[in-house]
Each structure stands twice: as structure tokens, then as C-alpha cells.
Amino acid sequence: MRMLATSTLAFARMIALGLAATLFTGCANTLMPTPTGFDTSGGNPFEQTPASLKSTSVKMFVAADRKTAIHDVTRGDPPSKSGVDFFTNDRSNSMQLGRATVTFTADEPGWDYLAAESRAEKRAGDPTLTMAGYEPYGALWVGVPQLDESAPGAEDATANAFTTAVDEALAASNSKDIYIFIHGFNTDFADNMALGAEMFHYLGRNGVFINYAWPSKGSVFDYSADKSTASYSTRPFRTFLTRLAKRTNVEHIHILAHSAGAPIAVEALRQLRLMHFDEPGTATRDHYKIGRLVLVAPDMDLGSFVNAVADGAMAVPERTTIYISSQDKALDISAWIGGFARLGQPLSVLTPKNIAFLHEQEGVDIVDVFMAERLLGSWLGHSYFHDDPWVSTDVLLTLRYGLLPDARGLTRDPKASVFTFPKDYPAKSAAAAAAVCKLGAATHPATAPAPAAAPATDGTIPSTADPLSRNW
């Protein structure tokens, strides 16, 4: 009987994961629904887009700690024309750097039609997004240095090529900010590129957009493996942040992390803070140029997040926004499998101590998307940051312009002390978007003081600075 019960439970979990397959993915084949605040009644996200970037294709940078399907890219072995099969789903000890091209195909060719459809509340036809090419720059070692078998000078050439390309893209833009997207569980490389492309598109194509491609297995039945791999990818991502801040002309680095990608971002910031524990949090922030951290449907153990906050992780970004939902069935399943509450679950599943701890954090906003999801969301409710027009608007206003919750049109729930979507959110967000789109610049709001820390002795970076940044 015990064996039967165990088998039944295992089967039930497999069924539950199967039902959640689509909601854990970041699949994007057609352009996301028009964000409410950026339709024709609101702000024009393309008002400040440089003429050179007004195209039916978009280029984004890629950083991936995945193995390549080609054993030695330095020999010039070409990937497929589209680059879709360039990467495998396996871990790598090196960081592959490159640039992807995603095309927008619409009923009529040309930028003007694409821009009009992108702002239409009801579209004549949804543009489709397809990964059309991938240009590899090479690899940087992030594993055990003794095992590095790259050709002499190869890493320098890779670093220089990537840095030059990023700086050229920043120079061609009206913004000197970098946006990094970290995908979630059970995702496909090409679909993640399309998802990143539509987000960058609605960011006005300003600044530089980087897809961080950690090696998800791409299978709903590999949830445990993906969670382990996400933990493995924390260190490579941390070194990547270090290199960007140190070697490029970036002014701010903003991070958008979805689902299982959230702990990668949070743990990386925690490690950076611990590496500089003897300096104020603001100094760590300035050194790494971390701007906004946006966690959407974060599939992260709540206890692990509490530990990261206690170690000073939230002192590193200018401001952190956490989106939670009572409609998120994926995180319900994740909590059931893991046995503990997830960060992105509703406050109703958290203990009073959990809630009090989250509310005590300076510079951290919690947004409950329940109202938006109840009106517009899907039954599965995990990909709301690009599927739900209200939520996508709020994410874009947060990420691109740094508006505080009340300036974005949200209201504070006096009982739960979280921000919620009022019924008149479309009008409020449209007014907010219209105002900031004309300005064309982020506000970078001042944040509350960082948690207390031991004062720095001389303001310099301690010797704990990441040794793996040597190549940049």
C-alpha cells in the first residue's frame, strides 16, 4: 500500500507539472498584447527611438553559460543561418558571448506598420517574431582556470569584441543603460530571444538589451535539474555583471528576472554584497552600477530570499520591485514540490513574520497583480509580465523609467501594505506613460538609505573583488 501511495503521488506530481508546462515557459511566437499604457491613448514608446533602430528586426546581445553544439567555435565552424541550434541545454564552464537578430514579420512590411500595430488596442494582425541569426564573439572562461584550454589571446579577443559592440550600441542609443533578461524554467533558447526582443521593442529599443541564457533543460519533467542549474549559474552571472560594470560605458544595469531566473539574480547580488561587506551598500551599488531589479513571478524559496536580504542583497540595486499573484498556479505547484512557500506567491500563504520582514526592507516594492489577472489574465497565470497588458505596462514603466508605484498609477492596500492595480489603472498608466515617453529618460528615483554597514576605510574596493574579471 505504501509503494502504491508513493507511486500515485509521483504520478500526480508529473501530471501537475505537465499541466504547468506552458505557464513555466517564456514562449513568444507572436508579439505580446499591446501594453495598456502604451497604446494610442497613452505614451508612444518609440518617441525617442533613434532612426537607425527603427527596423523590422532587432539585435540583442547574448551571454550564455550553455555548451555549444559546435565543439570549437574559434575554428570558424558556422552555426545554422538562424543560430537556433547554436546552443545545447548542457552546462558549460565558459561564458559564450554573441549577438542575436530577431525579425518581426507583419501583414505589411516596414517600420511604420509595425509601430502602428505595436500600439493598436485591436490589431489587424499580430506580428510574428522569429530568430533570424546569431553572431558568436567567442567564449570567456568562468570555471576552474587550470582547465582553460582556450588558445592564447582568444579570451582577450572575445572580451574586446563584445565590449566594443556593446559600447557602439550604447553610443547609438539615447540611453546608456543595459537591460538584462533572465528567463525561467523549461524554456527554449530561440523563444527566449523572441521574448527578449518584444520587451526590448516596447522599451523603445533604447540602451542595450542582453539575454542571459542559463542552460534550462527545456523539459517540464526536468524541474529539479533546472533549479539546480539555476543555482550553478549564479557565479557565472555574477562575474558577467562585474565585467559589464568594469569594462563598458554603461551608466546603469537593470535586471528583469522571471520565475526560476529570479534566484540567479538575487543570489548574484547577495554574493557581490558579501564580497564588499566592509563598505557601505551604496558604494557596492555604485561600483557595479546596478539600477532596478525587477522580479516577476519569482520561483525562489522564500527562506532563501530572506537570507539574501539579511546578507544585504537588496542594498545593491537602486530599487527592487517584486510581482506576486494569487492566480499563479505554477508557483503553487512549485511550493508543493519543494515543500516551502515561494517568493512570488500571494501574501495569504506567508506568515505574519514573513510579511513584516518584507515590508521592513527599504527600497523594495511588492506589487500584487491579482486585480489585473482577475480581469485579463490566463487560467495558468505565470507569464503575466508580458501576457497581461496592465502588468506589462507596469513592468515597462518600472524598468525603463524607474517610476515609483504611485506615479505608475498603482494604489497601496492599507491592510497588506502592497501595491495593487485600481480599476482606473489604464487611464492612470496612460497618463504616466505619455509624460515619461516625451521626456525620453529614466527618472532614477532616489531610494531610502541602504541598511547599515561597517564604514569603508578608504573607499576602495576590497581584495575580495572577483578574480574572474581579469580577462575584461
pLDDT digits (tens, 9 = 90+) for 211-225: 998 777 554 544 555
**Strand pairing report for 419-420 and 411-412:** antiparallel
End-to-end CA distance of the chain: 60
CA distance 158 to 171: 20
- Residue that wins the pLDDT comparison between 373 and 71: 373
Q: Is residue 454 part of a domain?
A: no
Q: Is residue 226 part of a domain?
A: yes
Q: Is residue 255 part of a domain?
A: yes
Which pTM does this prediction carry? Answer: 0.82
- What is the pLDDT confidence band of residue 418, given thresholds at 50, 70 and 90? confident
pLDDT digits (tens, 9 = 90+) for 440-467: 655 544 443 333 333 333 333 333 444 3
Q: Is residue 55 part of a domain?
A: yes
The 10 Å CB-count burial string (b at 16+, else e) for 216-236 is bbbebebbeebbebbeebbbb
All three cell numbers of 15: 501530471
Name 367's Cβ contacts closer than 8 Å, sequence gap at least 6. 321, 322, 323, 324, 394, 405, 410, 418, 419, 420
pLDDT score, position 27 = 42
CA 10 to chain CA centroid, nearest Å: 32
| Count of structural domains, the chain | 1
CATH code of the domain covering residue 63: 3.40.50.1820
Residues in the chain: 472
Q: Is residue 469 part of a domain?
A: no
All three cell numbers of 113: 506598420
Q: Is residue 464 part of a domain?
A: no
For residue 271, the enclosing domain spans 9-441
Angle value at C-alpha 179, between 343 and 234, nearest 5 degrees: 50
CA distance 385 to 190: 19
Q: Is residue 123 part of a domain?
A: yes
Q: Is residue 259 part of a domain?
A: yes
- Amino acid (one-letter) located at 76: G
* Residue whose cell numbers read 513568444: 28
Highest mean predicted confidence (pLDDT) among 72-81, 318-327, 331-340: 318-327
